[in-house]
Structure 1
Amino acid sequence: MTERRGSGGGGFDVTLPTSNRAVFCHCHAGSDRECMDSITFRSDTVLSDVHMYTPNIRHLMVRLNTVGQPVFVSKFKILRNIHVCSKDDIGDLSNEENRVLVDVENASTDQVGCSNTVANEKKVDDKKETAPTKILLDDDGDLDVIRRPSDFLNSCDTNLWREKVNPIIISKGEEFPFEEYDEDWSICNEIRIEHTMGTTLEDVGKQVWRGAFLLADYILNNSYLFRGCTVLELGGGTGLTSIVMATVAETIFCTDVGEDLMNMCERNIIVNKHIYGKAGSEIKVRELDWLRDELCTDPENPYCWSEEEIAHLYDHTNVLLAADVFYDDNLTDAFFQTIYRILSNLKNPSTIYLSVEKRLNFTLRKMDVTCDAYDHFRLCLADLENINDGKTKFIVEPIKLIFPQFLFYERVEQLELWKIIAEPLICNTQQ
């Protein structure tokens, strides 16, 4: 089965991995039955698995978007004090001494962060180590599963159970004020992202993917690399990586295509101002179509570029980012053509950071497990490194994933991080 994909205006035929398909049925929620009946589910829906590994994170359904997809708001806690990434605090968190200082600071405060979480997990682990392992079997030798007591949900220990979810269903496509469902905006280390959990392939930018978390981890661990930079993110999606980058960088252009997606991204950026506000950074959501040679300057487009912004982009950008956007060969080609075109116009040497997840899929065409999208990505990397245009030299190298996690997700072995250094060649024209 194929699906039409058009990130950036075009469409191509791509095979949707069977392992990523999810079949949904219509669901109802009490008095909101009529509204829920209008939800659009399809059998070829692509489902992100990020939320599956956050059992203590509340996913609050708040509305339906313009195409009938349920929209959720999820809370992702940064596991260490976010303020260490501001311009006046500790620089390189990859340094062990700095990480110890941060942990001590967190342990001495009442903020919700990594220290308390890790401490609680360690207590549980200690109990597991000291408690004898006993397998309970019934009379027939089958495993006897102990059920939770009926009063478990009323336990005062909130760490033992997930938060109760009371969905707020708003009519299709309607905007909503965040304050209606939020309890406390004062938590400074908690990112709240509006997103979907299942979309067609053409709307996967509305979901949260592990590659964005991996890139965010790298930024938080190496904040000194990005202080005061002008950054361009391509395929920014929900804006999570740009929000984290804004804790250290000066200006971030978060780009994508599709008005519905970009509206969602802009709302996320506005509502997370508490994360990056103290750094004095600015995030601008702008359209960047990989299938077009020029930036959008149409004033009727709410996400068009002004002449001043285009000049700033080319005069000051020195970091480019992209998180998990390499799942279709045509889009991957368009991406590398776009960054080559942009780099050719930049005045400063630049570094590109790319996260990718190597997805293994069984295809009937080859009757084998393959990772065609990843293989094509690697070919594009090699082609970029082999470019000999006399203008720019590209150095491609993988980044070892030896830095700690700041965000809670499953860092699977298929996740990779790549760095591309673009060095302008200086030609000596003097006789």
Structure 2
Amino acid sequence: MLVSPAHCSRCRTERETMDDVTLRSDTVLSDVHLHAPSKRHLMVRLNAVGQPVFLSHFKLLLDKNNLNPEEERDCQNGSMGQQDKCAGRLNAEGSADDRDIPDRPEKEGGALKEITALLDEDGDLEVVRNPSLNKAESDYCSRDKVFPIIVTKGGEVLEEEEQGDACADIIKIEHTMATPLEDVGKQVWRGAFLLADYILSRPDFFKDRTVLELGGGTGIVSIIMAKVAKTIYCTDVGEDLLDMCEQNVVLNTCHIGPAGSTVKVRVLDWLEDEFCTDPDNPYHWSEQEIAELHSLTTVILAADVFYDDYLTTAFFKTLYRITHHLKNPCAVYLSIEKRLNFTLRHMDVACEAYSHFREALNDLVNVKGGRVSYTVEPVQLSFPQHLVYERVEQLELWKITADVALEESVPPGD
């Protein structure tokens, strides 16, 4: 993902150990991981390319009775302070994180006591980044470093981690952190949470559907979609990434099995014109799967995959090609986060990746002469928030409707 310069300005220290992970200037880190408490990051193994793989638990806010109307409204509006409170409340109710995040001091007296405690022995004030936060909260909001807990350097997760399998409102995701740009699909991004929120807010619409996700990454959107849809094809490229995605599907069988759903992890390269049917590829397509995809798919998803102009163009070409093979009209949902970057070309802050995305949307609508016509509309973000994250104003959700033209009927005997 293209991120703000603040995310890319950190340097790696000479001391690189598993319990002291810092960021190099050529790596990016998702805000989903950046804002989460360090104790939530459990390193479980090294992947095939030597990257640390972490396990995170994400709580689904499915029981809205747990929040009063004011708290629910604040969570939906993406208030970070309220999100912290929600997270602390969820932990107190028995989530996998095993610690509470205290509420911020609300009384002036409490804040004064905090400040008094910061005076040194000479009576001088020791200035800190946020004097109103206690130590636990400061750890939660710190952006300086990530200190993951090493569970094991290889093999399976510790037994106590597996005891939460029966929890119906916990999504368990293996992912990496602080990756190079080409590996950002191995992280979890806010755009995935936004799309997941929309899915959970409209279960009747997605019920029993056949769904294709493009650029599925860790698979979290497809896994949540499996709570309602019938068949989900979760696609991406790179065997190491697809292995991680497959592992996440296995970790979340408690969500997929009871719904009677199937999540199929498959390779789909936007730079190729055909589906991979090579049996030597463990994530290849069968001819039957390709036929069923074209016959039954009515929903296509993509979460926060528009960070490179070349790949964005390839994405829309792939979308155009697939929708022209579908037998039914299709609803396409795309989430994106506008990310500001300083560019030498503009000598100003700009959202170049977002601008290219909008141009590609317009080009798709203006395509003429095909058997599919496209309409595009933004989706209002008024639906409830079911995951604890900061729903920032830069997040957007777009809907493309791909209408398949009816074949002209030919009179018998002509």
TM range, normalised to the smaller chain? Answer: 0.7 to 0.9
Alignment of 1:143-158 (within 5 A): none
Please list the CA deviations of residues 380-422 of structure 1 after superposition, one character each: whole Å capped at 9, or x if unmatched. 0011111112411111000011112111111111000000011
What is the CA-CA distance between 1:28 and the residue it aligns to?
Answer: 6.1
Which residue of the other structure, out of 2, 18, 31, is the alignment partner of 1:49?
A: 31
**Partner residue of 2:266?**
286
Partner of 2:90: 117
The answer to whether the aligner puts 1:336 opposite 2:321 as a matched pair is no
> CA 1:115–1:218 in 2, change beyond 3 Å: closer, same or farther?
farther
Aligned residue in 1 for 2:329 = 349
Does the residue aligned with 1:321 lie in a helix, a strand or coil? strand
Contact 1:401 1:417 in 2 (8 A): yes
Cα deviation 1:280-305 (Å, max 9, x = unaligned): 10000000000000000000000000
Mapped to 2, the partners of 1:180 and 1:411 lie a distance apart of 34
Equivalent AA in structure 2 for residue 53 of structure 1: H
Question: Whole-Å Cα distance in 1 between the matches of residues 60 and 408 of structure 2?
Answer: 49
The code of the aligned residue for 2:112 comes to K
How far apart are the structure 1 equivalents of 2:284 and 2:334?
Answer: 25
Name the residue aligned to 1:167: 150
Match of residue 134 from structure 1:
112
Q: Report the AA paired with residue 344 of structure 2.
A: L
Extract unaligned runs of 5+ from structure 1: 1-13, 30-35, 85-95, 100-112, 154-158
CA contact (8 A) 1:19 1:361 kept: no
Q: 1:359 aligns with which of 339, 346, 350?
A: 339
Alignment of 1:6-405 (within 5 A): 18-21=5-8, 22-25=10-13, 27=15, 36=18, 42-55=24-37, 58-81=40-63, 117=90, 124=103, 128=106, 134=112, 136=115, 138=119, 142=125, 166-170=149-153, 176-180=155-159, 182-185=161-164, 186-405=166-385
Tell me the distance in 2 between the aligned counterparts of 1:360 and 1:305.
Answer: 38
What SS class does the counterpart of residue 248 from structure 1 fall into? coil
8 Å contact kept, 1:73–1:195: yes
Amino acid at match of 2:183: D
SS at match of 1:383: helix
Q: Distance in 2 between matches of 1:393 and 1:148?
A: 53
Q: Deviations over 1:189-222 (max 9, x none)?
A: 1111110111111111101111101000100011
> Residues of 1 paired with 2:405 and 2:162: CA distance?
54
The code of the aligned residue for 1:244 comes to I
- Partners in 2 of 1:396 and 1:241 — Cα distance? 21
Alpha-carbon deviation of 1:427? 5.7
Per-residue CA distance 1:132-165 (angstroms, 9 max, x = gap): 653735576636778999xx99xxxxx9998x97
Distance 1:350 1:130 in 2: 55
3-state SS of 2:163 partner: coil
Q: 1:184 is aligned with what amino acid?
A: Q
Q: Note the alpha carbon deviations across 1:36-56, whole angstroms, 9 max, x for none.
A: 59x997531111121222238
Mapped contact 2:213–2:300 kept (Cα < 8 A): yes
Shift of 1:272: 0.7
Structure 1 contact 48–207 (Cα < 8 Å) conserved: yes
Distance 2:169 2:300 in 1: 25
Instruction: Determine the C-alpha separation between the residues in 2 that align with 1:40 and 1:147.
Output: 26
Give 3-state SS (helix, strand or coil) of 2:255's partner.
helix
> Is the contact made by 2:39 and 2:149 (CA closer than 8 Å) also made in structure 1?
no
Whichever residue aligns with residue 224 of structure 1, its letter is: D
Give 1:129 deviation, angstroms.
5.8
**Deviation, structure 1 residue 66:** 2.4
Counterpart CA distance in 1 for 2:125 and 2:181 is: 43
Distance (Å, rounded) in 2 between the aligned partners of 1:27 and 1:399:
46
State the Cα distance separating 1:128 from its structure 2 match: 2.1
Q: What is the distance in 2 between the residues matched to 1:352 and 1:324?
A: 13
**Cα pair distance change 1:278/1:114, threshold 3 Å:** farther
- Whether the aligned pair in 2 keeps the contact of 1:48 and 1:208 (CA below 8 Å) is yes
Q: Distance in 2 between matches of 1:41 and 1:147?
A: 27
**In the TM superposition, what is the alpha-carbon distance from 1:81 to its structure 2 partner?**
4.5
2:307 aligned counterpart, secondary structure: coil
Q: Output the CA distance in 2 between the equivalents of 1:314 and 1:15.
A: 33
Which structure 2 segments of 5+ residues have no match?
A: 73-85, 94-99, 141-146
> Does structure 1 retain, via aligned residues, the 8 Å contact 2:331–2:401?
yes
1:264 CA displacement? 0.4
Q: How many residue pairs are counted as aligned between the two chains?
A: 372
CA distance in 2, matches of 1:301, 1:285: 12
3-state secondary structure, aligned to 2:150: coil
Cα RMSD (Å): 3.6
